[in-house]
Structure 1
Amino acid sequence: MATQPNIDETALGADDRANLIKLLRTAYPHAQFPDGPYERTADKILDQVHESVWHCTLLSRGLRTLDGAAGAPFRELDDVAASRVLTDIADAEFFAFIRGVAVPILYDDHEAWDALGYEGESFSKGGYLNRGFNDLDWLPDPRIEEYDGPEEFVEVADQDQLKEA
């Protein structure tokens, strides 16, 4: 018979939030990112999981498992040790859940956009071409040639034979 998880098992606290922020910073390292995008991503994930007991349980148990796998509070590990722990759990359902929700949230943060140099969508600004994105200096000059062949259509195969083939 299935039982409901104990309320204490699904309650998420400050230590869980700190573990989640450390997980996000380790899994998606960007030296130029301030703490804000990681903190806002963690907060949005924590807000979303309360809509589902399953996700809340998965997240709370997963975050606590990090401490056990690390042998210390995960949030206090250096980047190399934290990365090792995450590598070990890369196939875990908990980590797959984090990857699935964190990427769109983290990279939709405007402060992250600024740090990456992304100006946002271009449609409302008239597109990319006339805003400095037409500088293809990293490509060789395109070969542009005029066609100087015959002006009329020259049939190279019998159309009836093509249909039969």
Structure 2
Amino acid sequence: MPISRRSLLLCSVSTIILSGLGVGTSRAHIKVGSNADDRKNLVQMIRVMYPHSRFPDGPYERTADAVIEKANKSPAKALMLRDGLRQLQSKSFNSLNDVAATEYLKGIEDSEFFQHVRGTTVVALYNDHEVWGLLGYEGSSFDKGGYINRGFNDLSWLPEPRITEYNG
């Protein structure tokens, strides 16, 4: 059966139009973290996982932003984070006391969501320069001449060492 020029053009144009209507997987991207409640739950989760009474909200909020930013780099991670945040929302995580929140987190500690938050937080939170100051960490010692003449031996909380003579 011969194909006419008209039917070939009609089929070609139809195929092009129909293929343009669909969204390919490369364009399908989920953005997580725009919801204020999700961000509050994530900040609370990080605060329960890494409790420091001296830390203000700033380092925890910047860490939550880092968790969200890392997840938004991959559609699969973004979907995983979105689902995890929905679970936190369904459990009213933000209103749980610390004991109940810790128990809930122990129950999900093997999940990909928990591991993503934990893995990103341990780096982002303790690499925050505001946290360094709160913990008494002065940063790298190399560019300041090392620790030997900068307080290496000022450990006042240790007892004085016993000095005994060795007669080998």
Q: TM-score range by the shorter chain?
A: 0.7 to 0.9
CA contact (8 A) 2:67 2:120 kept: yes
Given residue 46 of structure 1, which amino acid in structure 2 is its aligned partner? I
Structure 2 residue 58 is the aligned partner of structure 1 residue 39: no
Residue segments in structure 2 that go unaligned for 5+ positions in a row: 1-23
The one-letter amino acid paired with 2:96 is L
Find the counterpart in structure 1 of residue 121 from structure 2. Answer: 102
| Separation in structure 2 between the aligned mates of residue 146 and residue 19 of structure 1, nearest angstrom | 60
TM-superposed CA distance for 1:141, in Å, is 2.5
Q: State the Cα distance separating 1:10 from its structure 2 match.
A: 5.5
In structure 2, the CA distance between the partners of 1:124 and 1:101, relative to structure 1 (3 Å rule), is: same
Do the aligned partners of 1:106 and 1:112 also contact (CA within 8 Å) in 2?
Answer: yes
**Residue deviations 1:67-123, cap 9 Å, x none?**
33x2x2x12222222112111111112111111111010000111111111111111
User: Do the aligned partners of 2:109 and 2:115 also contact (CA within 8 Å) in 1?
Assistant: yes
CA RMSD of aligned residues (A): 2.4
The answer to whether residue 47 in structure 2 is matched with residue 25 in structure 1 is yes
| Letter of the 2:161 counterpart | D
- % identical aligned pairs: 48
8 Å contact from structure 2 (residues 42, 64) kept in 1: yes
TM-score when normalising by structure 1? 0.74
- The one-letter code sitting in structure 1 at the alignment partner of 2:74 is S
Superposed CA offset, 1:104-147 (max 9, x none): 10000111111111111111111111111213551552657578
Q: How does 1:66-85 map to 2 (within 5 A)?
A: 66-68=88-90, 70=91, 72=92, 74-85=93-104
Under a length normalisation based on structure 2, what TM-score does the superposition of the two structures give? 0.73
